[in-house]
Amino acid sequence: MAEKRRRLKEAAAAVALGAALGAAPVQGADTARVAEAIRAELEALKSRIRELEKQLAEQRRVEQEVKDLRREVRSAAEWKSPNTLIHMAGYADVGYTDTRSRTGTFGSGTFNPILHYQYRDVVMLESELAMSVDELGETTTELEYLTIDWFANDYVTVVAGKFLSPLGWFRQNLHPSWINKLPSAPAGFGHDQAAPNAEVGVQVRGGVPVSGNGNRLIYAFYVGNGPAAEIESGEIEMIETPGLGGDADGKKVFGGRLGLYFPGRRLELGLSGAAGRVGEIEEVGKSRKYTGVTRDYDFLGADFTWRPRQFEVRGEWVRQKVGDQPASSAPEGGTWQAWYLQGSYRFMPHKWEVVARLGRYRTPHSEVEQKALGLNYIFASNFVAKLAYEFNDDRGAESSGYEDRLLLQASYGF
């Protein structure tokens, strides 16, 4: 039955087709043959269509894939060059110190993360935190610096906020432990000693080529709140330079550094100076207060770096002075002065480096002569292990607080 119906259908289809083609109607066996041919042709067409459909789907799939890939590439490029860049850097160190009169202790050292945000080549936010753990297990966090740097043009950058003092060289450029070739700062170049640490204000800095052969003039000038003299029992205990977040004395300090760099000679020279008036901080009971008295302040510094072949020789002299003030409970001013000379040699292509440093630090209360010898293993340019011994000789009336000590440190700059 089904077969019959199919035949009938084919015949009808053939007649219809024949009519459509304008051919004369055909009969019997002829009809079957034609129908057969047409059926075969139809089958061929069908399979061809199926094939085309498959190809089309494949093409669509490929197109979609290309589209997806394009999108992926675009979003990858987005990662590569957005208009705002975010970057984390910094350094951390750990160590061991064995001082003559005390048992050796492990130190957590510091963890100093640096966060950078940059909008194109227009502006950069620089910030660094300094975190450390003390003997009692307390973690302290300080804002080491926080500035907004506006790249005004090719030769001028305006830096505003809390910045490392541009005076001298060690504090701003060598103190991070992965850079410093010894585990300690030279005597007088630590916090609140002879070399100013930080400042809150505005700074204009940059460099200018002074000849075609790479020689350059480097400058940094600033105006800031200035330091404060810390008064204790009728004497100036120290000059505090943490970068004061206010200017209680209402008088600014102006200063800067001028440097010359001669790449051909591998020699860099710098002169720094600052002057102004500073306030006094005195401990009253448990709180620290400004006394309302101001005094003269000035700073002078000179530094050099010479790097012939695998040698590196650095030297720096700084002098910080607070003037007399009859109206103060500590009428007499004072001078904090320090210098160091450091030589190092890197055994290329090996990873060993030897360092020697000689220096002196004098305050109105004490004087110390320091010699330090060190051996470093440079795993990578930003990962260094250091072993050093510091000889400290007191030369003044009072103890400087420095003692001979063995220092071990591992530092990683990231």
Partner 1 sequence: MGKRTMAVLAGLAMGPALLMGHAGAVWAEYPPEGDFVRGARLWAENCGRCHNIRDPRELRDDQWITTVYHMRVRGGLTGQDVRDIYTFLKQSN
Q: Which residues bind ligand HEC (CB under 6 A)?
A: 89, 91, 114, 128, 173, 176, 179, 413
Query: Can residue 81 be called a binding residue for partner 1 (CB under 8 A)?
Result: yes
**Counting contacts by CB under 8 A, is residue 121 touching partner 1?**
yes
**Which residues lie below 8 Å from residue 189, measured CB to CB, with a gap of 6+?**
170, 171, 175, 195, 316, 318, 338, 340
Tell me how far CA of residue 75 lies from CA of 168, 299, 349, in angstroms. Answer: 45, 52, 42
Radius of gyration, alpha carbons of the chain: 39
Residue 80 lies near partner 1 (rule: CB under 8 A): yes
CB of 124 or CB of 278, closer to ligand HEC: 124
How many helices (H) and strands (E) are present in the chain, helices listed first?
2, 19
When the beta carbons of 167 and 228 are compared against ligand HEC, the nearer one is: 167
- Spatial CB neighbours of 227, under 8 Å, sequence gap ≥ 6: 196, 239, 240, 241, 244, 253, 278, 297, 320
User: Quick one: 314 or 362, whose CB is closer to partner 1?
Assistant: 314
Sign of CA dihedral 279, 282, 286, 289: negative
Q: Residue 128's binding partner, choosing from partner 1, ligand HEC, none, with beta-carbon cut-off 5 to 8 A by kind? A: ligand HEC
Query: How far, in Å, CA of 246 to CA of 379, rounded?
Result: 43
Per-residue DSSP letter, 11:
H
Q: Compare residues 95 and 259 and give the one whose CB is closer to partner 1.
A: 259
Residue that is written with structure tokens 């202790």 in the block: 105
Binding segment for partner 1 (CB under 8 A), chosen from 132-140, 155-163, 248-256, 392-400, is 155-163
Nearest to partner 1 of 11, 143 (CB atom) = 143
Binding mask 298-337 for partner 1 (x = CB under 8 A): -------x-x------------------------------
Task: Identify what 83 binds: partner 1, ligand HEC, none; CB under 5 to 8 Å per kind.
Answer: partner 1
Residue with Cβ nearer partner 1 (116 or 365)? 116
Backbone angles phi, psi at 23, to 5 degrees: -85, 160
Which of ligand HEC, partner 1, none has residue 378 at its interface (CB below 5 to 8 Å by kind)?
partner 1
What one-character DSSP code corresponds to residue 19? H
The correct pick among 25, 104, 209, 250 for binding partner 1 (CB under 8 A) is: 209
Q: Decide whether 196 or 279 has the Cβ nearer to partner 1.
A: 196
3-class SS of residue 233: coil
- Minimum CB separation of residue 245 from ligand HEC in Å reads 19
Mark 6-45 with x for binding to partner 1 (rule: CB under 8 A) and - for no binding: ----------------------------------------
Instruction: List the one residue out of 401, 323, 412, 366 whose CA is nearest residue 99.
Output: 401
Closest by CA to 247, choosing from 309, 290, 185, is 290
The number of residues in the chain equals 414
Residues near partner 1 (CB under 8 A)? 79-81, 83, 85, 87, 89, 116, 118, 120-122, 124, 126, 149-155, 157, 159, 172-174, 176, 178-179, 205-209, 214, 216-220, 259, 261, 263, 268, 305, 307, 378, 381-382, 413
